[in-house]
Amino acid sequence: MTIQWFPGHMTRARRQIQEKLKLIDVAIELVDARLPLSSRNPMIDDILQGKPRMILLNKADLADPAVTREWIDYFKQEGYAAVAIDASTGQGVKEIPAMARELLQDKIEKQLAKGVNPRAIRALIVGIPNVGKSTLINRMAGRNIAATGDRPGITKGQQWIKVGSEMELLDTPGILWPKFEDQNVGYRLAMTGAIREEILNIEDIAFFAVKYLAKYYWEPLAERFELEEAPQDFENPDEIVAVMEAVGRKRGCLVSGGRVDLEKASSVLLRELRAGKLGRYSLESPY
Ligand code: GDP
């Protein structure tokens, strides 16, 4: 589900996260491994106010593994602890407490030197809608706590969830907003299903998807829909539409006269893409 963000919402979301920051030692920023920049909040550094942070690239099962590795290197070079995870199966999730401990090592050592027994590390998950925050909370808790999907406006009392013996997690995540000003960001998010189709035109989303996939992931696209001719000029809209039409013909999306129903073709294509039928792909690369 998508939240409509208006300046008032943003201010409130920001304030809510900043209230929670007072309670925690470490922020866990969740991004989508397929689009780690577009699925980030543009003001995240400012919002987190220097709180120790790790970046988790979620849904890594859907992303191009080679590109995900580049992203991990990139974030590490930027000075962050970063790891690829798949919250839905739990892949990589076990590493999180150890990563948090490493991030806070200096503080923990100082406490130990003073004879203070360090308490459990307190963490907050933050991220944009649909990035997998609830799935990760449930996974870390080892049981169903957070309802997946967002319920904007419903606030419940927050509680600490124990994660092993050394970590505690706030059961309500911090919800951030993506960058809206850049239209390509919107299309990338829409392609992955992170924002609702009513916001952008479905044929435009499919056009964007086909253009990108034809350029970078032609083989799985061609194989899935038995396409013969790859576009020669990706900037020529007619060539991209021709691919969309070929997809529509393959799936029987026709209107009277044998013309392709582009809206239906777009819907079929996006559904198959989001279901992972076109294989793993990444929409952004750091270099
Ligand atoms: P939230 O809005 O950030 O809390 O996101 P949710 O936890 O509700 O997840 C949104 C959707 O992404 C759900 O359909 C999840 O099943 C799916 N999802 C979450 N994590 C993963 C993952 O690692 N891999 C895949 N393939 N899907 C995931």
The interface predicted TM-score (ipTM) is 0.99
Mean pLDDT, residues 148-153? 49
CA of 97 relative to ligand 1 center, distance in Å: 21
Mean pLDDT, residues 127-140? 95
Q: Say if ligand 1 is within 6 A of residue 139 CB.
A: no
Model pLDDT for residues 197-221, shown as the tens digit of each residue: 677 899 999 999 999 999 999 999 9
Residue closest via CA to ligand 1's atom 25 equals: 59
pLDDT exceeds 80 at position 154? no
Q: Who wins on pLDDT, 151 or 168?
A: 168
Which ligand 1 atom minimizes the distance to the CA of 150? 2
CA atoms within 13 A on the CB side of 250: 18
CA of 135 relative to ligand 1 center, distance in Å: 6
User: Is residue 156 very low, low, confident or very high in pLDDT (cuts 50, 70, 90)?
Assistant: low
Mean pLDDT, residues 88-111? 94
pLDDT, residue 196, reads: 74
Q: Say if ligand 1 is within 6 A of residue 88 CB.
A: yes
User: Is residue 150 very low, low, confident or very high in pLDDT (cuts 50, 70, 90)?
Assistant: very low
pLDDT exceeds 60 at position 151? no
CA atoms within 13 A on the CB side of 65: 3
Model pLDDT for residues 251-284, shown as the tens digit of each residue: 999 998 999 999 999 999 999 999 999 999 999 9
43-to-57, 93, 187, 210, 255 alpha-carbon distances in Å: 18, 26, 20, 30, 46
Counting residues of the chain whose pLDDT is more than 90, the rounded percentage is 79
Mean confidence (pLDDT) of the chain? 91
Flag the least confident range among 3-17, 108-122, 124-138, 177-191: 3-17
CA of 249 relative to ligand 1 center, distance in Å: 32
CA of 88 relative to ligand 1 center, distance in Å: 7
pLDDT, residue 209, reads: 98
Which ligand 1 atom minimizes the distance to the CA of 146? 4
Residue closest via CA to ligand 1's atom 18 equals: 132
pLDDT, residue 254, reads: 96
pLDDT exceeds 80 at position 7? no
Residue 127 sits at φ, ψ, to 5 deg, of: 175, 170
Report the C-alpha gap between 221 and 226 in whole angstroms: 8
Report the C-alpha gap between 179 and 140 in whole angstroms: 28
3-state helix vs strand vs coil in the chain, percent to 5: 45, 15, 45
Flag the least confident range among 3-12, 89-98, 128-137: 3-12
CA of 227 relative to ligand 1 center, distance in Å: 31
Handedness of CA 39, 273, 58, 55 (dihedral sign): negative
Residue closest via CA to ligand 1's atom 16 equals: 88
